[in-house]
Amino acid sequence: MLKALYISNYALINKLGIEFGSGFSAITGETGAGKSILLGALALILGKRADTSMLFDDNNKCVVEGFFDVSNLGLSNFFDANDLDLDDSTILRREILPSGKSRAFINDTPVNLNVLRELGSSLVDVHSQYETLKLGDSLFQLDVIDRFGTTDKLLDEYHDKFLKYRSDLKLLEELKEQNEKAGRNEDYFRFQLNELDTINIDDDEFRNLVDRERYLSHAGEVNLIAGKSVQVMAESDESVLDKISEISEDFSRISDLHKQFKEISDRLKSQIIELKDIVNEIEGFVLDAGDESANLQQINDVLNNIYSLQQKHNVNSVSRLIALREEFRDKLDNISLIGDKIGLLEKKLKLDVETLSGLAEKLSRTRRKSASVFADSLRKQLAKLGMPDADFMVNFTKLTDFNPRGFDKIDFLFSANRGSAKAEIGKIASGGELSRLMLAVKSLIGSRKLLPTIIFDEIDTGVSGEIAGKVGNMLRQMSENHQLIAITHLPQIAAKANSHYFVFKENSNSRTTSNICLLNKDERIEEIAKMLSDESVSDAARGVARGLIGGSDKKRTPIS
């Protein structure tokens, strides 16, 4: 229940405070006095977006606070989920700074607008004068039937399944697109892989082959130098080895003449051994021209293939070519995996469709039962509102595809007069009939979904006289289960209220401001008499007003 609303620096309001009680409260005032401004301020603490154009004074911040009694509303899960302190008296506050920045609070804890909006939807149902036009909207009509009789648990179960189904459908489309694209590239990937599969060496082996190729490509020069060296050192008549051996033997004969001669002889023998070893090693470098030519060709084939692939793929190492080979292998493997995923997902979607169909059928059956009860109840409510001959029914059409609410399309069909054919509400109902229809709908929904506070902004549009009194009676009846606040321009409705608030304008300091006060019985009589009169208020009008009001007196409470 809304206990109090405090507003500062909003539109025409400088500072204003208003306290509400339970039951039915009516708000009246001249056109433009600021009645709808109150609703605009209330909308801020219910999560509506804001901007600085609504500031009364551009240099100060706007603050709107709503005090609510949330006891016995079962909101502990919401407060726990959002890490908020739960108190029977809960404060929703909104601040709009001159910079344009907006802040929201619940019990002095900062929250985002979504959290504020979620809590607000559990506390207040605001019916604006433009909402009546929604009666002709099929989605609104479906929402009415669901709010009247469909369980939230069933709706939530279906909606969760639908979201998963839609997500899987999107994934299937993406996988098929990937598969189609991959299919176009499969031959290319396989060709690249086959080329790269010809590489069977690593970077170290590649470097060894490069060295070997350079060596073999100079085989002629190697053989020439090696042959010449062996000839000079060992095979000619006066080879180096023969000459050194001869010198060594000479020094060996005179070794007893001086100790160093023996050392020289021994050193020469060592050189002979080293030279023979060098000769043997050089002979090992002499190449067989035929065999090595074939070997060189094989090496060149391997290297040329690698050089070509490096240039083609713009890389400079064998390891990078091998990495590319694995990438193409993975792409080919993924093509196969995508096909497997598509098959599994299609099977899952088939089962999901069966599950969704079952839930949608269950939803539809529940709605049809609710719609029948709703139609009967609505006809009775319309009779109370001066439409005894009104007829109403809910028409169902089954859609071909699932949507977030099932596969039902609903149309409200209505006729105001006996014998008239029923047609869609938006095409046949007048403004006054729409107002009464909406009030009847709200009264039925309210009886099922017990929101603590319902606010009507000119639900009486298009009605007058006796019908206005009937509307007032229904509002009074609804207020037995809810706190009900109605902005009205009809005296018959204002007179039915438990509390009557008056909105007025004041001129001070060259500014026009809006304010509000709670009227006592005498003030109510005068205000309702004004609403009944043209220009001056007559005693007759006061008498009628007095008769309309009845009940106990209420003291006037000015709000500053």
CB 474: neighbour CB atoms within 10 A?
21
| pLDDT value at residue 553 | 42
Are 94 and 64 in contact by the 8 Å Cβ rule? The answer is: yes
Domain residue spans in the chain? Answer: 2-129+450-558, 185-334
The CATH topology of domain 2-129+450-558 is Rossmann fold (3.40.50)
Cα gap 359→164, rounded to integer Å: 14
The pairing of strands 391-403 and 406-415 is antiparallel
Comparing 228 with 555, the larger pLDDT belongs to: 228
Comparing 296 with 286, the larger pLDDT belongs to: 296
- Percent of the chain clearing pLDDT 90 (strictly above): 34
Maximum CA extent, the chain: 167
Q: What is the pLDDT of residues 92-107, one digit of tens each?
A: 999 999 988 999 999 9
- Per-residue pLDDT, averaged over 33-59, amounts to 86
The CA dihedral of 152, 155, 156, 159, to the nearest 10 degrees, is -160
Q: What is the pLDDT of residues 505-537, one digit of tens each?
A: 888 777 888 899 999 989 999 999 998 887 788
The pairing of strands 62-69 and 511-518 is unpaired
The pairing of strands 24-29 and 62-69 is unpaired
Q: What is the pLDDT of residues 408-457, one digit of tens each?
A: 999 999 998 887 888 888 787 777 888 888 888 888 887 776 678 899 88
- Per-residue pLDDT, averaged over 140-155, amounts to 86
331, pLDDT greater than 80: no
Express the helix, strand and coil content of the chain in percent, nearest 5 each: 55, 20, 25
